[in-house]
Amino acid sequence: MSEKIALVTGANRGLGFETARQLAQKDVTVLVACRKLGSAEEAVAKLKSEGLTNLYPIQLDVTSASDRTAAAKQIEKQFGRLDILINNAGIGSADGKGEDLFAKQTIETPEAELEQVFSTNVFSVIFVTRELLPLLKKSPAGRIVNLSSILGSLTLHADPKSPIASIKRFAYDTSKTAINSFTIHLADELKDTNIKVNSAHPGWVKTDMGTSAAPMEIPEGAKTSVDLALIGPDGPNGRFIHLGEELPW
């Protein structure tokens, strides 16, 4: 039971891939979850070429109920439990990209954008967590990390002097606000268990969504998720964290 088993969603590129890499570097067994099994296998092969071990590909389109059920059954059969769930998969807009993430759009937000962003960023996170929670409850120290964003902070959005005051992409921002609410509610529900639940703000990172204009490199962006995945019994629970510092909801 000393070896930790982690599942990272959306792990074939960007923050998810780097999170899988950093966990594997810390001797965690990592299930590299991707929408397509081939993408997961390619990611695992690349990480193993770096000398890393204990990496396993798993197909998990987070929006697919059948994939979620199949993944839970596969993990239960192969490992019997899950210690870490990192809900990393997410999109910035209806087309899954982020180049217009900082364009203001509220009342004219297309219906398709609201539906697709919330389906991936909110509902899928809830449903993946629900499916895998029985396996996390078998862990002596379960950890759930929900990838959020500082753009989900209502406190900062309401402050005209805050650094994000001018950035109001409604669908994406509110999807991350909803994730923060899920974190608070789930942490409270599980407060008498060995499971800790936290929201992670990775920072503005040079990914496809963050674009090349972002100031942070991907390895630094993955650090918050990795740190929260490995916190001890005295670590935070039901909190919104960036690089060890708590953010306002």
Task: Give the tens place of pLDDT for each residue, 184-223.
Answer: 999 999 999 999 999 999 987 767 766 666 666 888 899 9
* Catalytic hit among 4, 56, 176, 196: 176
Number of structural domains in the chain = 1
Domain of residue 120, residue span: 5-246
* Catalytic hit among 172, 191, 196, 223: 172
pTM here?
0.94
Per the CB < 8 A criterion, the answer to whether 151 and 237 are in contact is no
- Exposure string for 211-246, b = 16+ CB within 10 A, e = fewer: beebebebeebbbbbbbbbbbeeeebbbbbbbeeee
Calculate mean pLDDT across residues 149-171: 95
Indicate the pairing of strand 143-147 with strand 55-59.
unpaired
In the chain, the amino acid numbered 177 is: T
pLDDT band at 103 (very low <50, low <70, confident <90, very high): confident
- Residues 6+ positions from 111 with CB-CB distance below 8 Å: none
pLDDT band at 94 (very low <50, low <70, confident <90, very high): low
Which of 193, 201, 187, 190 minimizes the C-alpha distance to 236?
A: 187
**CATH label of the domain that carries residue 132:** 3.40.50.720
What is the reported pLDDT for 1?
43
What is the reported pLDDT for 48?
98
DSSP codes joined into one string, the chain: --S-EEEESSTTSHHHHHHHHHHHHTT-EEEEEESSHHHHHHHHHHHHTTT--SEEEEE--TT-HHHHHHHHHHHHHHTS--SEEEE----SSTTS--TTTTS-BSTT--HHHHHHHHIIIIIHHHHHHHHHHHHHTTSTT-EEEEE--GGG-HHHHT-TTSTTTT--BHHHHHHHHHHHHHHHHHHHHTTTSS-EEEEE---SBSSTTT-TT-SB-HHHHHHHHHHHHT--TTS-SS-EEETTEE---
Cα distance between residue 90 and residue 117, in whole Å: 8
- Residue 105 token pair: 């759009």
What is the reported pLDDT for 42?
98
What's the chain's average pLDDT? 93
- Does the annotation mark 172 as catalytic? yes
Which residue in this structure is represented by tokens 């005051």? 165
* Per-residue model confidence as pLDDT tens digits over 162-181: 999 999 999 999 999 999 99
Calculate mean pLDDT across residues 29-55: 97
In percent, the amount of the chain with pLDDT more than 90 equals 85
- Does the annotation mark 26 as catalytic? no
What is the reported pLDDT for 218?
85
